[in-house]
A and B are shown apart, each in its own frame.
Chain A
Amino acid sequence: MLKYTIYRILLTIPTLLGVAVLIFFMLRIVPGDIVEVKLRGDGGAVTQETVEMERHKLGLDKPLAVQFKDWMVGLVTLDLGKSMWTERPVMEEIAIRLELSLEVAILATLIAILLAVPLGTMAALYRDTWIDYLMRIITIGGISIPSFWFGMLIMLSLLAAFNWLPPITFTPIYVDPVANLTQLIWPAAAVGYRYCAVTARMIRSSLLEVLSEDYIRTARAKGVYEKLVISRHALRNALLPAITVIALEFTFLIGGLVVTEQVFNLNGIGQLFVQSVTRNDFTLIQGMVMLIAAFYVFVNLAVDLLYAVLDPRIRYA
């Protein structure tokens, strides 16, 4: 097991390296200069001198290879550089906003799991009945309805029905749980609907597959109490692929957050990412993409290791 773990961990390195190279060069190939944007935004003519000074300050006058080396060294020491726009460390900009986005993501996951397990199970157990069809429509709705539209509808329904809106500034949950939850439950629901739908579908199909396995037939033939069959044998085995989906979809929540945070005016990393793109803040974009990619890679790693623990066949492959 240890050998497998080490092997898998080592495998992540070339992937992360590949991401770093790709993102760095993709952003630098292009002409169009953040320094010009920053300075000429002041109004009035700016001298070439000033532009050169600023460029030097940001380290943009060094040859490309040197800039890349600097960045790679920084990555290893977890120093993602300074935002070209605000000149504060990238880590700092992200850290300020991470708490909020993380909380929305976790809330969305909770909503998703709490709803998806019963939904998916029922749909599988009552396959091809109206329950199944209803559930399929609900879940396909979840995959089809854009989360930002759903978020808009939620906001506007709240306004129309109660003339009330969620609070606009963020209070951490340990400071004021009520204010915190009344603000974040809605974006969590908007993003969580899709999450729930994907998970429920996975549970349904995985459970269906397990239910047609021989050992389930054997258990039933033996006269084991049906509920026990389901919970002890079927569900346990069906949940494993579902866990994979839950973990992977969690990493994809960032995509939903990017748009949904706009709708709810949340100062999270989704909005930070959009702002960095509109401003061509390369270091910030790079830093965020590395984080997102690293997150994805490590979640994958965790899932793979979990599989190896639970399914011995893989370890010895």
Chain B
Amino acid sequence: METRRKTLKNMAGALALGASGFSLETMRAEAQSPKKGGTLTYAMNAETPHYDGHGSDTFATIQFSAPFYSTLLKFDLDKYPNVIGYLAQSYTVSQDSLTYTFKLHPNVKFHDGTPLTSADVKATYDRLRNPPAGVVSTRKATFSDIASIETPDPLTVVFKLSAVNAAMLQHFGSPWNFIYAAKDLAQDPNFPKARINGTGAFVFVEHVKGSHVAGKRNENYFKKGLPYLDGFKGVFFLQAATMLNALQGGQVMAEFRSISEPEKQRLVQSMGDNIRIQESSWTLNLLVVFNVEKKPFDDVRVRRALLTAIDRWGGSKGLGQISTLRSVGGVLRPGYPMATPEAELVKLPGFSKDIAKSRADAKKLLADAGLNDLKFTLHNRSIAQPYTPAGVFLVDQWRQIGVTVENKQVETAPYLAALNSGNFDVAIDFSNLFMDDSSLALTKYLSIDRSPDNRSRSKDPELDKIYDAHMRETDPKKRQAMVQAFEKRLFEQGYQQPLLWWYRMVPTNKVVMGWRMSPSHNLGQDLSEVWLNT
């Protein structure tokens, strides 16, 4: 009893600071100087289909590859969402905001010994914005403003934009933009998918499929004195239960994605002070996506009916207790200043608090569309948390308006394959943002020819227009109004809609230091500043 109270008090104290991602203990420990040595073992709940960050939007790839690569800029996790230089020692932005000049660190080498030059940065960004045939660049749309890339000398890269882009710096800081060697890309444009040659803090040692990935310290890392760790090992856990057991048993020291409320309680109860939990709201959501190319989901009435029948407000409370799903929000993360406030949100389709009326309206809409006995399959991902609760919840919600749904959960790769090729009717999709800015958050909803990320396959020129206009708008208030107009049209058409936003709780063993919490789990995974306090 005594220890339980003490634990709860500690946790309360930690929670109070939780939003900022720090605890008293962390701060005290941070004051110590980092120790060199040790191997960090952590759990990974999905195995990445390939190693190329440019063509992936799943955390599995970041977690796997990020320690081996560097990016041009990176997010300053002490001052999120500001960015600082990484491979770029310094940078300047011209007065008219159309020219970005980066000066690279000298003496940076790839793991195979090749020196890094501006040519490598150019080759990387050319691949990002204009991938050759057979190469996928998932966030291609975010680089469309880059008009040209020049390399006046081996340590300078100059980007010229065709239009002002308020969020361009953040995009240079994207954790997905691994810098690859130009010679590797020339040899094989898909080199990075199966082979690893980066400039990161760790050198690739091995990837044993089904078991683990391991890396060791890069002795030639361009930041002197880093990394502190001798190496790391990421162990794959396909069943969440065994992962928790491993954390409890001390066999892994961290799980960097997130755990849910019950998992957190279990860890705190059994490990007490030995586990540190850092919390934050999360730039990740699950969406309900309709394949608008398939009947009857080409009918806006059907989509509206199904979306409005979901009790988000009620469900978020229950789901918040058993899963990582927690907050109700629109296209932007709830809690982000630019997001639509609740008073406005409840006016939008799908967000009403009067669920009884919404359900009655939904039934009527379906009857109007002539579908009295709608049955379909919901495509879902086979990661237990929180895809299973989401699927179970949706089946239950739709059951209450007389719609029968089969929840079909498949492994990440076949799931993505089905989604990307349009081989589904309705699906649960995820939106994995590395930052909150609308320039990134809204790309998912752009027409399919502009954004491969749009799995509903919708083509809506209206939405594209609003997006483009808001990209040029520098007045924040006007920009927010445009985002809300975008949101309103999107929800009225109902091609896809966020279900719930997630809440992030990261458990690390108390010996793990130097790892920073942030609202996006894609950030801070390069492990270059992590050390073990043993």
* A interface residues (Cβ-Cβ under 8 A, vs B): 36-47, 49-50, 53, 86, 88, 93, 96-97, 155, 159, 163-169, 262-265, 267, 271-272, 275, 278-280
Contact = CB atoms under 8 A, between A and B. Distances in A.
B137 A44 contact: yes
Nearest to A54: B134
A164 B249 contact: yes
A159 B420 contact: no
B237 interface: yes
A93 B133 contact: no
Contacts of A42: 49-50, 52, 55-56, 136, 193, 416, 420
B242 to A, nearest CB: 4
B134 A43 contact: no
Contacts of A93: 209
19 contacts: A36-B421, A37-B417, A39-B417, A41-B414, A41-B416, A42-B56, A43-B138, A44-B138, A46-B134, A49-B133, A159-B245, A163-B248, A166-B249, A262-B239, A265-B238, A267-B208, A267-B211, A271-B210, A279-B413
Contacts of A37: 413-414, 417
A43 B60 CA distance: 13
Interface in B202-261: 208-212, 235, 237-239, 242, 245-246, 248-249, 251-252
Nearest to A159: B245
Contact of A168 (B49, B136, B251, B413): B251
B242 A264 contact: yes
A45 B52 CA distance: 16
B57 interface: yes
A41 B133 contact: no
B453 interface: yes
B285 to A, nearest CB: 17
A43 B410 contact: no
Contacts of A267: 208, 210-211
- Counting chain B residues whose Cβ lies within 8 A of the other chain, the interface size class is 35 or more
A262 B238 contact: yes
Nearest to B417: A40
Nearest to B55: A42
B302 to A, nearest CB: 26
Given A267-B210, A278-B411, 14 more contacts: A40-B418, A42-B136, A43-B57, A44-B140, A47-B134, A155-B245, A163-B270, A168-B246, A168-B251, A169-B212, A264-B242, A265-B239, A265-B246, A278-B410
A41 B420 contact: yes
A93 B211 CA distance: 12
A227 B50 CA distance: 66
A44 B416 CA distance: 10
A272 B251 contact: no
A41 B136 CA distance: 11
B142 interface: no
A43 B455 CA distance: 10
Most B CB contacts (10 A, CB to CB) among A37, A96, A169 go to A37
B452 interface: yes
Interface in B450-487: 452-453
B270 to A, nearest CB: 6
A96 to B, nearest CB: 7
Contacts of B212: 169
A18 B209 CA distance: 31
B251 A43 contact: no
Contacts of B99: none
Interface in B113-165: 133-134, 136-138, 140
A265 B246 CA distance: 10
A97 B208 CA distance: 10
B420 A40 contact: yes
A152 to B, nearest CB: 8
Interface in B26-75: 49-50, 52, 55-57
A104 B245 CA distance: 21
B534 to A, nearest CB: 18
A261 B195 CA distance: 30
A62 to B, nearest CB: 22
Nearest to A166: B249
